[in-house]
Amino acid sequence: MKRLLHIKLFTILFISSITSIKAQNNQFYNDAYQTIDNMLNDKQQYSFKEAVFSVENAYYQGKLDTDKLNQEVRFLKNFATAVMQDMNLKYTDSDRDKVAKYAAIYSIMCQALPVAVKDTVLQYKPFHYDFEDVFGHKDITNLFVSKLLATKKGNCNSLPYLYKILAEELGTTANLALAPNHVYIKHQIKSMGWFNTELTSGIFPQDSWLMASGYIHLDAIQNGVFMKALNDKESLALCLFDLAQAYNRNFPGNDGEFVLKAVNRAIEVYPNFAKALILRAETHKDRFTKLMDRHNLKTDNPENLKLVQQQDPEAKELFELMKKEYGHIYEIGYRQMPEEMYLDWLVSLRTEKDKYENKKLINNFTK
């Protein structure tokens, strides 16, 4: 019986080691990381589209049809150009051309549009928010731009990512911004300064809506955790986080080396990127838990936490590191928003539209 148990244990350890080696040496993830890192180091031309698709291709292990995706993006770019040429924009400031691009992208993403095809007028259907698995817990591909392009249904991750991709395809830029569990767009124009574009509802909300969540601490705003207009390199940091998260899904139980490599690089670029800071702390926590298991100690017993640190210097170092990391996340103002409250908050933008919508901007964007 003991011999059988030893054989089973050896088999489990052998399979685990093979999985770990496969994860560490996965070329698709290494290539995606290198692509983004080269952009950050200005060794490769910046392209948010390429960064996003490299992450998604890594998850699909090289099977993503990037040619088809690029065709879809080109179609949307050309459609936006046609919309822009046909619109009667009321905006008259000197940056009118840039604003026209924003208005065109907004139109094709959020509005139903009549399209003339020879003698027939067809109705173009916009993209919609998908309330199914909005956080990608069941299937991480629900967060992907490729899924959005295939189904025209997306969420607060894929919708703003596509908006930024289309803006860059049209020769301008779009700033991603973060709120609790959320990504949206911030623009700066001459007539009114900064404004928000919320693609999950197709509305231009005021900052008061973001503050209404109750989970945006003043320190988080001052430290750039939330509501900051991210530059292009900080947006690439979001892609590095996505890469680390996808890696964990592809290789559950991995040793954390690649994940830490990706999130540490993201934090170098965007120091107060809360989701990356949390994933780093959680990865160290996972390592600490594995050390506890190695010593046959339960983590829910405070005495065991003291004991393992006395027995194992690595455990003591990890525990101190975790305390420091979690403490820092709280100090910069991050507060975790419960997922069910997030959905209620998101819906409130539709139900309380008159309260939060930027009326001046709607008039500027009227075409």
| pLDDT tens figures, 294-340 | 888 887 777 877 888 888 888 889 999 999 999 999 999 999 899 88
Q: Are 96 and 191 in contact (CB under 8 A)?
A: no
**Where on the phi/psi map is residue 64: left (φ > 0), alpha (ψ -120 to 50), or beta?**
beta
Burial class (CB in 10 A: 0-12, 13-18, 19+), 354: exposed
- Summarised one tens digit per residue, pLDDT across range 182-191 is 999 999 999 8
- Summarised one tens digit per residue, pLDDT across range 62-113 is 999 999 999 999 999 999 999 998 888 888 899 999 999 999 999 999 998 8
Per-residue pLDDT, averaged over 218-235, amounts to: 97
DSSP string, 212-267: TTS---HHHHHTTSSS----HHHHHHHHHHHHHHHHHHHSTT--SHHHHHHHHHHH
Residue 38 CB: number of other CB atoms within 10 A?
A: 13
Q: Which two tokens stand for residue 133?
A: 């698995």
> Among residues 266, 268, 280, which one has the least CA distance to residue 329?
280
SS3 124: strand
Per-residue pLDDT, averaged over 5-21, amounts to: 46
Per-residue pLDDT, averaged over 232-240, amounts to: 98
Beta strand 120-124 pairing with 113-117? antiparallel
Half-sphere exposure of 101 (CA within 13 A, CB side): 19
Q: Are 226 and 180 in contact (CB under 8 A)?
A: yes
Measured distance CA(240)–CA(242) in Å, rounded: 5
Measured distance CA(7)–CA(299) in Å, rounded: 28
- Asked whether the predicted pLDDT for residue 149 surpasses 90, the reply is yes
- Asked whether the predicted pLDDT for residue 12 surpasses 60, the reply is no
pLDDT attached to residue 294: 87
Per-residue pLDDT, averaged over 258-284, amounts to: 98
Per-residue pLDDT, averaged over 346-350, amounts to: 84
Measured distance CA(59)–CA(189) in Å, rounded: 37
Q: Which of 17-21, 153-157, 209-213, 265-269 has the lowest mean pLDDT?
A: 17-21
Percentage of the chain modeled with pLDDT above 70: 90
pLDDT attached to residue 216: 93
pLDDT attached to residue 266: 98
For residue 130, report the phi and psi dihedrals to the nearest 5 degrees: -105, 110
pLDDT attached to residue 121: 73
The vertex-48 CA angle with 167 and 62, nearest 5°, equals: 130
Mean pLDDT over each residue of the chain, to the nearest integer: 89
Q: Which residues contact 350 (CB under 8 A, 6 or more apart)?
A: 201, 203
Report which residue type is found at 229. A
Per-residue pLDDT, averaged over 115-137, amounts to: 85
- Summarised one tens digit per residue, pLDDT across range 158-196 is 999 999 999 999 999 999 999 999 999 999 999 889 999
